Amino acid sequence: MYFIYLITGEKPNIHCTVVFEEDEWKVLYAYVNKDPIPPDKAPTLIEAVNKVTGPGGFLGRKSDGHPGTKTLYRGFTRLMDITPNYKIVMNMLAPYLPNSPPVFSNR
């Protein structure tokens, strides 16, 4: 978590795929935005970290500063809980959704 904390401070505008796998950032997007169809392009690292720390307890108010390692850990733990379930549901529903995202692999 400390590495993610440091790299977010050093290079916030790189692609989030440095830290997140493709499935993870897509699940994160779907969970936070309540939209099952993710964008074609991955968000930046700072955008993804801010989204993942929301479920970890980070409120993101104007005076809050950057999220710390504790909220990063909590958010990533929550994301690791959500990802397998999202993959199962999307694999079941993909044939019925218009413009459905590609079916996730069974990893």
Q: Quick one: pLDDT at residue 96?
A: 77
Domain that holds residue 22: 2-96
Are the beta carbons of 74 and 52 closer than 8 angstroms? Answer: no
- Tokens for 36? 């099952």
Does residue 11 sit within a domain? Answer: yes
Task: Decide if 57 is inside a domain.
Answer: yes
Question: What integer is the mean pLDDT of 2-23?
Answer: 89
The residue-averaged pLDDT of 31-38 equals: 84
**103 found inside a domain:** no
In a domain, 102, yes or no: no
Residue 27's H or E segment, with its range, is helix 22-33
> Is there a domain that residue 107 lies in?
no
Q: What is the pLDDT of residues 48-107, one digit of tens each?
A: 988 888 777 777 777 777 788 888 999 899 999 999 998 888 888 877 777 665 556 555
How many domains does the chain contain in total?
Answer: 1
**Is residue 105 a part of any domain in this protein?**
no
Is there a contact between 53 and 75 (Cβ–Cβ < 8 Å)? yes
CATH number of residue 65's parent domain: 1.10.740.10
Instruction: Give pTM, 2 decimals.
Output: 0.76
